[in-house]
Amino acid sequence: MNLTKHDLTEDRVETLHSLLDDAAKKVGQQRLQIAKLKALLADCAEFIEPYSDVVDGAYGEPAPNAAMSLLSEIKEEIT
What are the sequence ranges of the domains in the chain? 27-79
57, 63 contact by CB (below 8 A): yes
pTM (2 d.p.): 0.72
Q: Would the pLDDT of 77 be above 70?
A: yes
Q: Which pLDDT score is estimated for 63? A: 93
Which letter, b or e, does each residue of 33-69 get, where b requires 16 or more Cβ atoms within 10 Å of its Cβ?
Answer: eeeeeeeeeeeebeeeeeebeeeeeeeeeeeeeeebe
Q: Would the pLDDT of 54 be above 90?
A: yes
Average pLDDT over residues 51-55: 95
- pLDDT 10s digits, 20-42: 999 999 999 999 999 999 999 99
